[in-house]
């Protein structure tokens, strides 16, 4: 019975042979002739050994005494960030119960209204993330599509890369039967002192309004964050 390495080498050469048919049919005979050749298997063994050696060298380097303390620190930091996310204190904005953020849709069905300020610039002096929206009041029974974004200049609407996320809510009674229901929100983080904006579209033909408040957490970064897509929400 042939060894595992022999089989791997044979499969590799078969794949190369098939891929080469369209470009040069003369290579087929040479590839097939070499399937059982000791020289060919020897070459494959040498290549595999070299590849294995290079890979092991990289692993050994990563496990070196100089790297281990840093790696352990990164792990401890990232575990602490996860714990902080689930056990952090949340804040609500607006803080005054007398205030509210009112978002308005555009008149056409599915038309975005203007971006509206929710949190002014230079109010939250740490990086933060939105974890919830409370829809407190609406003026029509319809579907509400809420999008949030941030900017670092007071007068600038959010750019595409600064859109944080969105949620869709169906309201069937006015006034809302359960007006304190938290709508869980997933978002990237806002930089410290950034301004939070919101905008709205609905399923009706009217200009509809929704009064909302938001729930925020202090954001802590991991050591190797995945950067947000500049082309949000799609990759192209």
The C-alpha atoms of residue 145 and residue 112 are separated, in whole angstroms, by: 9
Which pLDDT value is given to residue 28?
A: 42
Sequence-distant (≥ 6) Cβ neighbours of residue 176 within 8 angstroms? 135, 136, 137, 138
Which pLDDT value is given to residue 229?
A: 83
The overall pTM is greater than 0.85: no
The C-alpha atoms of residue 118 and residue 123 are separated, in whole angstroms, by: 11
Which pLDDT value is given to residue 234?
A: 77
- Domain ranges (residues) in the chain: 4-62, 90-218
Closest CA to 146 of 180, 188, 101: 101
CATH code matching the domain that covers 90-218, chosen among 1.10.3470, 2.60.120, 2.60.40, 3.40.50: 2.60.120
HEC string of the chain? CCCHHHHHHHHHHHHHHHHCCCCCCHHHHHHHHCCCCHHHHHHHHHHHHHHHHHHHHHHHHHCCCCCHHHHHHHHHHHHHHHHHHHHCCEEEECCCCCCCEEEECCCCCCCCCCCEEEECCCCCCCCEEEEEEEEEEECCCCEEEEEEEEECCCCCCCCHHHEEEEEEEECCCCCCCCCCCEEECCCCCECCCCEEEEEEEECCCCCCEEEEEEEEEECCCCCCCCCCCCCCCCCC
Which pLDDT value is given to residue 43?
A: 58
Which residues in the chain come in under a pLDDT of 50? 1-2, 4-5, 7-12, 14-16, 18-33, 35, 37, 40
Which pLDDT value is given to residue 45?
A: 64
99, 213 contact by CB (below 8 A): no
Task: Name the CA radius of gyration of the chain, rounded.
Answer: 29
């Amino acid at each position: 019975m042939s060894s595992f390495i022999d089989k791997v080498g044979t499969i590799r050469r078969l794949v190369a042979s098939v891929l080469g048919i369209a470009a040069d049919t003369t290579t087929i005979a040479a590839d097939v002739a070499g399937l059982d050749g000791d020289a060919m298997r020897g070459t494959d063994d040498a290549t595999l050994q070299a590849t294995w050696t290079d890979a092991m060298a990289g692993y050994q380097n990563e496990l070196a005494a100089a790297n281990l303390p840093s790696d352990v620190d990164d792990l401890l930091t990232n575990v602490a960030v996860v714990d902080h996310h689930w056990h952090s204190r949340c804040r609500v904005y607006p803080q005054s119960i007398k205030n509210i953020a009112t978002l308005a849709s555009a008149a056409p069905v599915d038309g975005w209204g203007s971006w509206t300020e929710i949190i002014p610039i230079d109010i939250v002096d740490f990086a933060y993330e939105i974890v919830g929206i409370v829809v407190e009041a609406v003026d029509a029974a319809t579907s509400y599509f809420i999008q949030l974004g941030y900017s670092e200049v007071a007068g600038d609407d959010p750019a595409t890369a600064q859109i944080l996320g969105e949620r869709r809510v169906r309201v069937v009674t006015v006034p809302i039967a359960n007006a304190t229901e938290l709508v869980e929100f997933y978002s990237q983080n806002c930089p410290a002192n950034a301004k939070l904006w919101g905008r709205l579209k609905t399923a009706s033909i009217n200009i509809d309004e929704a009064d909302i408040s938001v729930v925020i957490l202090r954001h802590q970064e991991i050591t190797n964050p995945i950067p947000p897509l500049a082309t949000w929400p799609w990759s192209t």
